[in-house]
Amino acid sequence: MRSILVVDDDVAMREMMVSMLEAAGIRAAAAASAQSALEALRDGEFDVVLSDIRMPGKDGLELLGELREIRPETPVVLMTAFGSIDSAVAAMRAGAFDYIPKPFKRDEVLVVLERAFEHRELASENKRLRAAVDQTGSFGDLIGRSPAMREIFALIRRVAENRSSVLITGESGTGKELVARTIHFVGSRRDQPFLPINCTAIPEGLLESELFGHVRGAFTGAVTTKRGLFEKASGGTLFLDEIGDMGLGLQGKILRALQDREIRPVGGTQSVKVDVRIVAATNKDLREEMDAGRFRRDLFYRLNVIPIHIPPLRERPDDIPALVDFFLRRHGRGERRTISRAALDRLLRLPWEGNARELENVIERAIALTDVPEIGIEDLPVPRGESAAVGVGSDALLRGAVQRRLSLHELEELYIAEILKLVSGNKVQAARILGINRRTLYRRGERAALQGKRSVGAVAASAID
């Protein structure tokens, strides 16, 4: 409900204004002086202040001046004496939102106040969106400090207020659903429903009636008429998760719903108008799906109005410390848990095929398995990928190296070559795992490339025999 503080030393005037404003559906409170107005404003929030200019003690202009300091976002409307051009000019110059000459008609006041409320609402909307991205690198529940995530935050902010379709792509566990929720809950539709549906989890026939609803008797078991998610999400957001797994038939129906902004319940003859924002997500490569004829090109273009791609976690290691911190707090159950430098270093170097979800699981498990406040390296699991690729292989290599009596230098080159293989030649990743900078890696890597073949071949051969 909109709220207003009326400031006037004249009691009859105050009471008249308050009852008039309340009748117009505005929550109105009154103050008899600038001083008590300032106190009321310190205690509570009012959207707009309506004040008389001429008052004993501090006058309306002084009140306005102080309010500009402490509540710059609150529009102040001043009531001026009829014909007093001077005070009207002074009011505007001092930063009043507007002025109302006395005596006034009810409708005049309401028109001016309506504009003041609208102004305030717009301003706080913008402020809220800006404040939502705070300096610590989070946006709602979304954590991210990397340039890539910050770009995503900016994009969310821009799209939150409109109703264009959004297509979120990214590997499993990168936070697609979280991004979808953030778009909804920071946007103008946040008071309306956010309804997610996983398109893989439900058989196609059921999915259709789930989405579009059905009329009574549409199929066996349809004993009552049921509204679908498109209708239930009206005014809000429908989140179509794993859209890449939706069958072609249903894709066509979704396309029609998006184009015509109306749907037809299963078994129904009447179309129903719908107003929903669609946010879709997939971890499939939809271009590949289109080339294979499994995804409709026209639907893709309809959905992909605003594409948001979340890069895998291994490509944005800057986000790992903040995520770790966030998950420590989320799963710490009120206890303050920390992580050792060495353990964090290790987390920074892991490949995170399951992205943030895997990181969250690792932290949750470590917290559950240990009582000490600080999580150490021994509390972290050996990731699947590594035990297979490095564990077994390096044992054999190490044994071979010992048999061949390799020098430390030769072993180093061998190890660099192995790590490069593990990360498919990605030097940035290799340098991170090896704990050396990229220049050093290039230098040593080149030598390793020259000599490595020989020694890798030799050791591998000896590991076999």
Ligand X SMILES: Nc1ncnc2c1ncn2[C@@H]1O[C@H](COP(=O)(O)OP(=O)(O)OP(=O)(O)O)[C@@H](O)[C@H]1O
Of 153, 326, 352, 415, the one binding ligand X (CB under 6 A) is: 326
Is residue 353 part of the contact set for Mg ion (CB under 5 A)? no
Of 146, 283, 429, 455, the one binding ligand X (CB under 6 A) is: 283
β-strand partners of 47: none
Is residue 114 part of the contact set for Mg ion (CB under 5 A)? no
141 vs 446, beta carbon nearer ligand X? 141
Q: How far is the CB of 315 from ligand X (least distance, A)?
A: 13
Taking phi over 0 as left and psi of -120 to 50 as alpha, with beta for the rest, 265 belongs to beta
DSSP string, 307-345: EEE---GGG-TTHHHHHHHHHHHHHTTTS--EE-HHHHH
Backbone angles phi and psi of 197, in degrees to 5:
-140, 135
β-strand partners of 262: 273
Is residue 144 part of the contact set for ligand X (CB under 6 A)? yes
Q: How far is the CB of 310 from ligand X (least distance, A)?
A: 7
Residue type, 235: G
Per-position x/- string for 158-187, each x denoting binding to ligand X as judged by CB under 6 A, each - no binding: ------------x-xxxxxxx---------
Number of residues that bind ligand X (CB under 6 A): 18
Q: How far is the CB of 177 from ligand X (least distance, A)?
A: 3
Q: Which residue has the tokens 């035990």?
A: 387
- Contacted by 172, from Mg ion, ligand X, none: CB < 5 to 8 Å by type: ligand X
Distance CA 414, CA 30 (A): 81
Q: How far is the CB of 242 from Mg ion (least distance, A)?
A: 7
Q: How far is the CB of 182 from ligand X (least distance, A)?
A: 9
Angle, to 10 degrees, between the axis of helix 176-186 and the axis of helix 147-160? Answer: 40
Q: Closest CB to ligand X belongs to which residue?
A: 175
The answer to whether residues 202 and 247 touch, using CB atoms and an 8 Å cutoff, is: no
Is residue 150 part of the contact set for ligand X (CB under 6 A)? no
Of 348, 341, 286, 437, the residue nearest 146 (C-alpha):
348
Beta-strand (E) ranges in 244-304?
A: 262-263, 272-273, 277-282
54 vs 357, beta carbon nearer Mg ion? 357
Both structure tokens of 342: 């060495």
Distance CA 40, CA 373 (A): 46
Distance CA 241, CA 238 (A): 9
Number of residues that bind Mg ion (CB under 5 A): 1
Q: Looking at 139-147, 186-194, 245-253, 434-442, which segment touches ligand X (CB under 6 A)?
A: 139-147
Q: How far is the CB of 137 from ligand X (least distance, A)?
A: 10
Of 43, 58, 45, 71, the residue nearest 7 (C-alpha):
58
Is residue 356 part of the contact set for ligand X (CB under 6 A)? yes
Q: How far is the CB of 273 from ligand X (least distance, A)?
A: 30
Per-position x/- string for 150-179, each x denoting binding to Mg ion as judged by CB under 5 A, each - no binding: ---------------------------x--
Q: Which residue has the tokens 């008797």?
A: 217
Of 336, 326, 362, the residue nearest 144 (C-alpha):
326
Q: How far is the CB of 5 from ligand X (least distance, A)?
A: 40
The residues that touch ligand X, with contacts defined as CB under 6 A, are 141-144, 170, 172-178, 283, 323, 326, 356-357, 360
The residues that touch Mg ion, with contacts defined as CB under 5 A, are 177
